[in-house]
Amino acid sequence: ISKAADSKSDIHLALLSDRSSPLSSGLSPAQMLFNRDVRTTLPALQFTNPDHSPVLDKMRHQRQVQNQHYDQEAKVLHPLAINDTVRLRHPAGGWSKMATVLRQISP
């Protein structure tokens, strides 16, 4: 991108060619995102039926590992009962005053 800026060429074309360049997996970031080839000014070989299964297996494995890490810290939330003390978090920050659960409105 710095070369494109130095040569005063289009930075968007430089980004497009960078994102359409294949990684070590054989797929470009644009192919992984859009699940198809992106039209660029770079010449490219057309493969009739590439095998994406190793890349997809690796992505599934990474998603499972990430899910396991999240589940280690996650807690089960029990339903609120009548006369429980609660506080609500404001979107802008801070907490509301303490309140008591009077009744159940929805399941």
Instruction: Record the pTM.
Output: 0.36
> Is 83 within 8 Å of 100 (Cβ atoms)?
yes
- The rounded distance, in Å, linking the Cα atoms of 74 and 95 is 22
Contacts of 103 (CB under 8 A, 6+ apart): 82
The DSSP H or E segment spanning 85 is strand 85-86
Hey, what are 42's tokens? Answer: 């770079």
Hey, what are 63's tokens? Answer: 């998603």
pLDDT in tens, 13-64: 787 777 777 777 778 888 888 887 777 776 766 665 667 788 889 989 999 9
- Segment among 7-16, 68-77, 94-103 with least mean pLDDT: 7-16
Confidence bin at 75 (pLDDT 50/70/90):
confident
Confidence bin at 5 (pLDDT 50/70/90):
low
Hey, what are 98's tokens? Answer: 């303490």
3-state helix, strand, coil in the chain (%, to 5): 40, 5, 55
Q: In whole angstroms, what separates CA 55 from the centre of its chain?
A: 16
